[in-house]
Amino acid sequence: MASTRALWILAFVTLFATTSLTNAATITYDFDISWVTANPDGLANRPTIGINGQWPIPRIEADVGDRIIVNVVNSLGNQSTSLHFHGLFMNGSTHMDGPSQTTQCPIPPGGRFTYNFTIEQPGTYWYHSHTHGQYPDGLRGPLIVRDPENPFKEMYDEELVLTVSDWYHDQMPGLLSFFMSKANPTGAEPVPNSALLNETQDLKIAVQAGKTYLFRMINIGAFAGQYVWFEGHNMTILEVDGVYTQPAVASMIYLSAAQRCSFLITAKENSSTNFPIVASMDTDLFDKLPDDLNWNVTGWLEYDSKAPYPTPKVLDQPFEPFDDMKLASWDTQALLGEPDQVVTLNVIMDNLGDGANYAFFNNITYTSPKVPTLYTALTAGELASEAAVYGEYTHSFVLERGQVVELVVNNLDSGKHPFHLHGHNFQAVWRSEEEAGTFGDSNVTSEEFTKIPMRRDTIVLFPEGNIVLRFKADNPGVWLFHCHIEWHVQSGLMATFVEAPLDLQKTLQIPDDHYAACKASGIPTEGNAAANTVNLLDLSGQNTPPGPLPTGFTTRGIVALVFSCISGILGVAVVAWYGFADVGDDKSSPVSVSRVAAKGVYEQPAASLGEDSVSAPGVGNVGADRDEISAVGGGSGKPVSA
């Protein structure tokens, strides 16, 4: 009898697997990446990276089990590019993950490249460039994977995709040139000019009374975290970063750059009123708050297209978004066991010898290798298990297959950091409050870890706090771990996990068009990080960051010197002006108007619109006058209105 039952079970499993394979589709996207002109906030036309002559770029959609083929043509003319499919594990296809000089060579101008992979995860994802800090220029869009086995599919009537993002009027090459320069010794990140919902500031979502909607929300921005709420409506969270959760009710959520959240909203039974949808940029992230910045964007749940679109109510208390650490996974996966390997990373921001401000893990600022790290793993033989062959500045850790890895990140910086792991979800087992210090000094034990932890691929680390993450090394490949603030990616806040490299050598084959991209750019595809194929432990010639500052120079000293010079120049200018001024007997004094931005208070500053200044497509502000570049971040704001 037992054997008969076993045969029936085997037959059912085989039938189910065969049916799933039969129903799977191959979906092909042909993407011609090129420059278009866009003006999503209504304040400035600017060159923007589009696909097939359009922006916003197309949404990628599939069902679990589908095969996706993306044929890319790079028609940008002056920039290389690549695509990363954020949150997808790429199990068995790490070479399709997308980061340039990590799993592939960048696609050169005029080049062609094919991404080919099978999607095995349901949920809400997105895709974006992973080359040269490029995606804030527009190369970013949703990727949605539908699930026939969705445990919540009977709870809603319709699905809606909602993106939130920040937007810059200037192009990334110019912004990065200033950001990574001695003219910006404190590392102040350029402040966005606007916030967007679905890449616009005029979003209206038609809803029908009594219906329930599943919103798939994605922060596709480069920098700003976003507080999000729907006036008059609660959200029931069902998924974060592609992982189903136990349902949780929230009135406000916080999404960092790259985070996703899916939630239910039920429309009111009787309403002729339209309700604001509000996203408010996290201004705590900004070193400077321009007077004309409107850090909010408003859309509306539209019950009646003929009714007014009201202005959001003022919130006069600190924001209190739902704490995502309270979420539990739907499948109740228990905390992974004691770790086989513990990796501790300390976040530091500091200056190097060129005067620019860099980001570091354990005093190492990421610098791209000469050979893509994956190609080193495939060509290094037995030495692929030695972290040294990947170079000192890729900050590589080699993991054995099946290991439980514990990742401890201590924030020695005063800002928030959203950290993202490629190729995996992690269990978020601990997160401290702000200013809690390092995990090692906290006296927290594993007994205090969450027993059924939230799983996701991007998590916010609080200022001067710490997090503890766990994941299982069950996906051979080369996977980055990095801050998803794009400014910090470019300043080096990245590390690399090389997972089961000897297994990769046995199973992975790189397609010819991937090698062709390397050849077109003169990038070597064999050897260690320095492209040495003879002695793989000889790293002479590897790419290196600038050296340390000369003795006696500190960040504080540089800042003091810069501001002293500025103060001196201004002082001389004031004296000169006063000497030439026509001084009368008017005793009236000028009125100085200032605005204090209370933390977490919704305000609507008046807009001041200056003349548009748009660079030629693809050129950005490289080589622009320094004063022009340093003004970035003080761009025109736009009041939220109906």
- Is residue 558 exposed (0-12), middle (13-18) or buried (19+ Cβ within 10 Å)? middle
Q: Return the closest-CA partner of residue 467 out of 504, 433, 421.
A: 433
pLDDT digits (tens, 9 = 90+) for 205-224: 999 999 999 999 999 999 99
296: pLDDT strictly greater than 50: yes
641: pLDDT strictly greater than 50: no
Higher-pLDDT residue of 442, 602: 442
Residues with Cβ < 8 Å from 173, sequence gap 6 or more? Answer: 132, 619, 620, 621, 622
pLDDT digits (tens, 9 = 90+) for 575-584: 444 444 443 4
Q: Return the closest-CA partner of residue 54 out of 72, 39, 38, 74.
A: 38
Whether the domain at 152-330 and the domain at 341-521 fall into the same CATH topology: yes
Task: Let me know: does 81 contact 134? Beta carbons within 8 Å.
Answer: yes
User: C-alpha angle with apex 286: 280 to 291, nearest 5 degrees?
Assistant: 75
The whole-number pLDDT of residue 636 equals 31
175/149 Cα distance (integer angstroms): 45
The whole-number pLDDT of residue 606 equals 32
607: pLDDT strictly greater than 90: no
Task: Let me know: does 208 contact 272? Beta carbons within 8 Å.
Answer: no
Q: Where are the domains of the chain?
A: 19-149, 152-330, 341-521
Task: Let me know: does 175 contact 211? Beta carbons within 8 Å.
Answer: no
Residues with Cβ < 8 Å from 528, sequence gap 6 or more? Answer: 371, 376, 380, 389, 390, 391, 536, 537, 538, 539, 542
The CATH class of 152-330 is mainly beta
Residues with Cβ < 8 Å from 332, sequence gap 6 or more? Answer: 452
Q: State what percent of residues in the chain have pLDDT above 70.
A: 82
620: pLDDT strictly greater than 70: no
Q: Provide the pLDDT confidence category of residue 630 given band limits of 50, 70 and 90.
A: very low
Lowest mean pLDDT: which of 175-184, 368-377, 494-503, 598-607?
598-607
12: pLDDT strictly greater than 70: no
Q: State what percent of residues in the chain have pLDDT above 90.
A: 80
Q: What is the mean pLDDT of residues 215-236?
A: 99
Q: What is the mean pLDDT of residues 427-442?
A: 97
425/97 Cα distance (integer angstroms): 15
413/275 Cα distance (integer angstroms): 39
Number of CB atoms found within 10 A of residue 92's CB: 16
pLDDT digits (tens, 9 = 90+) for 189-203: 999 999 999 999 999
Q: What is the mean pLDDT of residues 388-412?
A: 99
419/406 Cα distance (integer angstroms): 15
Q: Return the closest-CA partner of residue 225 out of 159, 189, 279.
A: 279
The whole-number pLDDT of residue 621 equals 32
622/36 Cα distance (integer angstroms): 19
Q: What is the mean pLDDT of residues 76-105?
A: 99
- The CATH homologous superfamily for domain 19-149 is Cupredoxins -  blue copper proteins (2.60.40.420)
Peptide bond into 136 cis (omega under 30): no
Task: Let me know: does 478 contact 373? Beta carbons within 8 Å.
Answer: yes
251: pLDDT strictly greater than 70: yes
The whole-number pLDDT of residue 604 equals 35
The whole-number pLDDT of residue 568 equals 56
225/354 Cα distance (integer angstroms): 30
- Is residue 318 exposed (0-12), middle (13-18) or buried (19+ Cβ within 10 Å)? exposed
Residue type (1 letter), 637: G
Q: Structure tokens of 221?
A: 């921005």
CA dihedral over 449, 349, 192, 83, signed as positive or negative: negative
Q: Provide the pLDDT confidence category of residue 570 given band limits of 50, 70 and 90.
A: low
Q: Return the closest-CA partner of residue 616 out of 168, 166, 35, 40.
A: 35
Mean pLDDT for the chain? 88
The whole-number pLDDT of residue 3 equals 46
Task: Let me know: does 106 contact 82? Beta carbons within 8 Å.
Answer: yes
Location of structure tokens 């609507």: 604
407/404 Cα distance (integer angstroms): 10
Q: What is the mean pLDDT of residues 276-282?
A: 98
pLDDT digits (tens, 9 = 90+) for 98-139: 999 999 999 999 999 999 999 999 999 999 999 999 999 999
Q: Structure tokens of 250?
A: 């929230």
β-strand pairing of 235-240 with 260-266 = antiparallel
Higher-pLDDT residue of 569, 530: 530
Q: Structure tokens of 590?
A: 């000028």
341-521 topology per CATH: Immunoglobulin-like (2.60.40)
Task: Let me know: does 333 contact 455? Beta carbons within 8 Å.
Answer: yes
Q: What is the mean pLDDT of residues 480-506?
A: 99
pLDDT digits (tens, 9 = 90+) for 511-538: 999 999 999 999 999 999 999 999 999 9
266/208 Cα distance (integer angstroms): 9
How much is the pTM? Answer: 0.85
Q: Structure tokens of 373?
A: 């790290």
